Amino acid sequence: MKEEIIIAGFGGQGVLSMGKILAYSGVMQDMEVSWMPAYGPEMRGGTANVTVILSEDRISSPILHEYDTAIILNQQSMDKFENDVKPGGTLIYDGNGITRHPERTDINIYRVDATDEAARMHAVKTFNMIVLGGYLEVKPIVKMENVVAGLKKSLPERHHHLIPMNEKAITRGGEVIKEVSLVK
């Protein structure tokens, strides 16, 4: 089993930390993982993206040109990464601020309106966990218990009281994600 993921959006959306939690969940599940950010000035207000790989075998390149799954959280990232999803792969996006929706018919497309949902839950900061929950609903590659363990590992102890709220957001993400059918 190997899953190659790009998570892309704006700096500040929690793109990198979502990737980190996913990677840590993989560690908890005894998988090989890599987390490679596009670091630098891009992080500061512009676009941010991170490549996360979870695999049962040793990971070769942490840098990829095509992905099993693209999680896309703004229009720029849609323009940049839609075509890099492998045929038969998965694209998950938040419709908020998207002016051109995905058009490919050879991949599976899902929409998780996490921005709206986070606002509805009065928990804007859990946005990225709603997205993560949506992803895990579609691709349950890590068990929830390992995600919680991953959260614990990647959050400093003083933030551990926020874990139940994040768990709730992950669950909610699983509920609100829906398939967008272009082919079927």
Partner 1 sequence: MRELKLMKGNEAIAEAAIRAGVDGYFGYPITPQSEVMETLMAEQPWKTTGMVVLQAESEIASINMVYGGAGCGKRVMTSSSSPGMSLMQEGITYLAGAELPCVVVNVVRGGPGLGTIQPAQSDYFQTVKGGGHGDYKLITLAPASVQEMADFVEDAFDLAFKYRNPVMILSDGVIGQMMEKVELKEFKPRWTMEHIEENYPWATTGKKKDRAKNIITSVQLEASVQEAFNHKLQAKYKAVEENEVLFEEVMCDDAEYLIVAYGSSARICQKSVEIAREKGIKVGMLRPITLYPFPTQPIQKYAEKVKGMLSVEMSAGQMVEDVRLAVNGKVPVEHFGRFGGSVHSPGEVVEALEQKLIGG
CB of residue 116 vs partner 1: minimum separation in angstroms? 31
Token pair, residue 100, equals: 């051109």
Token pair, residue 37, equals: 């950010």
- The nearer residue to partner 1, 22 or 123, going by C-beta atoms, is 22
Radius of gyration of the chain (CA): 15
Site for partner 1, residues 64 to 123, rule: CB under 8 A: 64-66
- The nearer residue to partner 1, 8 or 114, going by C-beta atoms, is 8
- The nearer residue to partner 1, 45 or 97, going by C-beta atoms, is 45
CB of residue 65 vs partner 1: minimum separation in angstroms? 4
CB of residue 6 vs partner 1: minimum separation in angstroms? 12
Return the C-alpha torsion angle 124, 164, 10, 1, nearest 10: -150
Contact call for residues 84 and 8 (beta carbons, < 8 A): no
Q: x/- string (CB under 8 A) for partner 1, residues 31-70?
A: -xxxxxx-xxx-----------------xxxxxxxx----
Token pair, residue 49, equals: 């993206």
- The nearer residue to partner 1, 43 or 121, going by C-beta atoms, is 43
Q: State the distance between the two ends of the chain, measured CA to CA, in whole angstroms.
A: 27
Centre a 10 Å sphere on the Cβ of residue 134 and count the other Cβ atoms it contains: 28
- Binding stretches for partner 1 (CB under 8 A): 20, 23-24, 27, 32-37, 39-41, 59-66, 153-154
